[in-house]
Amino acid sequence: MAKPEASAKADKQAADFARGLEGVVAAESRICRVDGETPRLSYSGYDILDLVEHATFEEVIYLLWFDELPNRTQLQEFIAKLAAERHLPTGLVYTMRTLPHTTPPMDALRSCVSLLSVYDPEDSHDCSVEANWRRCIRLMSKLPSVVATFDRLRHGHEPVEPNPQLGLAANFLYQLTGQIPNDLSAQAMDVGLTLHADHELNASTFAARVTVGTLSDLYSGITSAVGCLKGPLHGGANQEVIKMLHEVGMLERVESYILEKLARKEKIMGFGHRVYKQCDPRAPILRTWSRRMGEAAGDLLWFQMSKRIEEVVLREKGLFPNVDFYSASVYHTLNIPHDQYTPIFACSRVAGWLAHIMEQLSDNRLIRPVAQWVGHEYRDFKPIDQR
Ligand code: ACO
C-alpha cells in the first residue's frame, strides 16, 4: 500500500537530514571554489597560489565582486573609491570612545558595524543594486578603520587618520600603530587578507546570505556574519592558537602539551576542517610567511613551535592545520594584539561576505530549511491545575 504523501515527505526529510548541513548544496555560486579533495582553493577560477603571488588584496576584492581581474584603470579607480571611504563618522567615533576599554574587540566590531547603518548617507529604502555596491565600498573600507580605531582608543591613544596613499593592508597597520609599515610587513598583511577573503559557504558567509535572503539590509547581513565569525570553531580559532602557543612557551614542551590535551579529548585549535580532509591549501602559504616574518624579526620560536605542533598533531590524529593556525604566528610577529586576530579576519572576509550578499540578492530566494521532528506526538492540552 502506498504511504500517505505527508509520511513519504517526512521519510525523505529524515533520509536527507545532514547534521551541521554537511555536504548539503545550499546555493549556486561563482565566487569561490573549494575543492576539498585535491585540495585546491580558487576565487573566480584563479588559484589562490597565483593570487597571493601576483595580486594585491584590492585586486582580489575586485575579482570577488565583479568576477574578473581589473585592468590598470579599473584598479586605480577602485582603489581611489575604497580609499575615499576609510573615514569613520564622527558620531560613531564618539560612541566608540564611550565603550568600556575591556570590550572584546569582536563585540566592539559587531556593534560598530550595526551602528554604521545609521550613518549611511543614502536613503535606507534605496535598495537598488547601485546603492548597494556603494554600501559595499563603505563597509569594505570602514571595517579596518573601526578595528584600528577601537584598538587605539582602548589603549588610551587617539585614532590615526587614514592615509589615502597607502594600500588597504598597509593603511590598516598604519592606523593601528601610527607607523607606516615596512614593505615586508605590509606584504604579510596583504597576503593574510587575501587568503582569508572568501571560502565558499562557510558559517559566517551562510549567515550573511540567510540574513539578506529575507531582504534585510547589507549592514544587517554583515552584522550577522561578524557575530558568526566570532565563535572559536570558526574565526575565533586564530586567537585560541596564539593562546596555545603562549601556554606551550618553549619548543621542548610541545610534545607533552599536545599529548596531554589530546588525552583530555580537547580540540587543538587551528586543526581540522569540515571540507579539507587533506591540508588546507592556505596553511602552507602562511607557514612560509610565518618563517619569513620570524627570520625578519630574529625570533623563530613561534614558527618553530607551530611547526612542531603541526608534526605532533598529524602524527597523533592525522589532522592538518587550517588557515587559522599559521596566521596566528604571522600576526604575532606583526605585533598585532592577540584579540585583534579575529577582527582582522573579519576585515578580510567582509570582501567575500559582500560578494555573496550581492550574489544572493541577484537571484534571491528566502533561505528556510526544515527540521526533522523528534519531539512529542500531538497531545491534549492540560489545564495548569492538572499538570
Ligand atoms: N583537534 C582534535 N580533534 C579534532 C579536531 C581538532 N582540531 N578537529 C576535529 N577533530 C576530531 C573530532 O574530535 C572528531 O573526532 P571523533 O569522531 O572521534 O569525535 C573528528 O575529528 C571530527 O570532528 P568534527 O568536529 O565532527 O568535524 P567538523 O567537520 O564538524 O569540524 C572543525 C570541523 C569545526 C573545523 C573542527 O575540525 C574543529 O573544531 N577544529 C578546531 C577549531 C578550528 O580550528 N576552527 C577553524 C576552522 S577554519 C575556519 O573557520 C576559518
Is the CB–ligand 1 distance for residue 349 below 6 Å? no
Residue nearest ligand 1's atom 8 by CA: 272
Residue nearest to atom 39 of ligand 1 (CA): 233
Catalytic residues: 273, 324
- Model pLDDT for residues 127-146, shown as the tens digit of each residue: 999 999 999 999 999 999 99
Amino acid 45: pLDDT: 97
Q: What is the Cβ-side half-sphere exposure of residue 95, based on CA atoms within 13 angstroms?
A: 16
230 grid coordinates: 566570532
Q: Does any ligand 1 atom lie closer than 6 A to the CB of residue 324?
A: yes
- Give the nearest ligand 1 atom to 266 CA: 2
Please report which confidence band the pLDDT of residue 1 belongs to, taking 50, 70 and 90 as the band edges: very low
Output the CA 179–ligand 1 centroid distance in Å: 38
* Res. 11: pLDDT tops 90: no
Classify 88 as helix, strand or coil. Answer: coil
What is the pLDDT confidence band of residue 33, given thresholds at 50, 70 and 90?
very high
CB atoms within 10 A of CB 111: 18
**Nearest CA, atom 27, ligand 1:** 274
Q: What is the pLDDT of residue 277?
A: 85
Cα of 243 from ligand 1 centre, angstroms: 18
Report the separation in Å between the CA atom of 336 and the middle of ligand 1, taken as the mean of its atom positions: 26
Residue 228 beta carbon below 6 angstroms from any ligand 1 atom: no
Rounded Cα distance, 113 and 121, in Å = 15
Least confident residue range of 155-159, 272-276, 341-345: 272-276
Which atom, in ligand 1's list, is nearest to the CA of 267? Answer: 1
Helix, strand, coil content of the chain in percent (nearest 5):
60, 5, 35
Measured by CA distance, the residue closest to atom 45 of ligand 1 is 233
Q: Place 352 in a pLDDT band, splitting at 50, 70 and 90.
A: very high
CA–CA distance, 1 with 307 (Å, rounded to integer): 62
The identity of residue 320, as a single letter, is F
Q: Over range 62-75, report the average pLDDT.
A: 98
Is there an atom of ligand 1 within 6 Å of 261 CB? no
Residue 97 φ then ψ, to 5°: -65, -25
Task: Please give the order of strands across the beta sheet that includes 46-47.
Answer: 32-35, 40-43, 46-47
Q: Is the pLDDT of residue 58 over 60?
A: yes
What the block records as the C-alpha cell of 80 is 581611489
pLDDT reported for residue 298: 95
**Domains of the chain, each with CATH number or no CATH:** 47-231+340-362 (1.10.580.10), 237-333 (1.10.230.10)
Cα→Cα distances 102→99, 153, 155, 159, 208, Å? 8, 11, 10, 17, 27
Nearest CA to ligand 1 atom 49: 234
Q: What are 235-284's pLDDT values in tens digits?
A: 989 999 999 999 999 999 999 999 999 999 999 999 999 899 889 999 99
34 lines ligand 1 (CB under 6 A): no
